[in-house]
């Protein structure tokens, strides 16, 4: 299974500030590949275990939820949630999951990167 993370989401996770992920839909618990990039050029960041923490409405999210998700404040978290999903309201149900890194993936250079390397003098 895979779970999509934005670049900023993964940066917060990679710096160990982000310990949870907040979704507007339920996801299966267990091992997932955390992926980013586009549908056509996905990037696999690492493997992680996802475990349920709680479910609530957006308006009930707390400063603690924000800190666990890698934000400095609840307001910052709500702003980001609104950017990612403009249809979210204070009454939208969300699910909060623990995210625990399992292993890194070895990054493989894309064909474009290999071609550029071959062109260097």
Residue 72: the pLDDT is 95
Residue of 86, 113, 105, 96 lying closest to 50 (CA atoms): 96
Ordered by where they begin, the domains of the chain are 2-119 (3.10.400.10)
pLDDT average, residue stretch 79-84: 94
- For residue 49, the cross-strand partners are 31, 100
Calculate what percentage of the chain has a pLDDT beyond 90. Answer: 60
Residue 108: the pLDDT is 46
Predicted confidence (pLDDT) at residue 111 exceeds the cutoff of 60: no
Predicted confidence (pLDDT) at residue 112 exceeds the cutoff of 60: no
pLDDT in tens, 53-77: 999 999 999 999 999 999 999 999 9
User: pLDDT-derived band of residue 23, with 50, 70 and 90 as boundaries?
Assistant: very high
Q: How far is residue 112's CA from residue 121's CA, in Å, rounded to a whole number? A: 17
Of 7-11, 37-41, 97-101, 116-120, the one with minimum mean pLDDT is 116-120
Residue 109: the pLDDT is 46
* Sign, Cα dihedral of 50, 11, 6, 46: negative
* Sign, Cα dihedral of 66, 71, 74, 78: negative
Q: How far is residue 24's CA from residue 41's CA, in Å, rounded to a whole number? A: 24
User: What six digits make up the tokens of 36?
Assistant: 């980013």
């Amino acid at each position: 299974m895979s779970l999509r993370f934005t670049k900023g989401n993964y940066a917060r996770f990679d710096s160990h500030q982000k310990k949870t992920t907040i979704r507007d839909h339920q996801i299966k618990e267990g091992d997932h590949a955390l992926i980013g990039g586009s549908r056509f050029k996905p990037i696999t960041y690492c493997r992680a275990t996802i475990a349920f923490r709680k479910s609530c409405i957006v308006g009930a999210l707390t400063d603690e939820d924000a800190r666990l998700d890698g934000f400095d404040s609840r307001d910052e978290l709500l702003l980001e949630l609104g950017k990612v999903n403009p249809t979210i309201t204070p009454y939208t149900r969300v699910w909060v999951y623990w995210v625990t890194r399992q292993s890194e993936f070895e990054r493989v250079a894309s064909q474009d990167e290999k071609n550029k390397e071959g062109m260097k003098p």
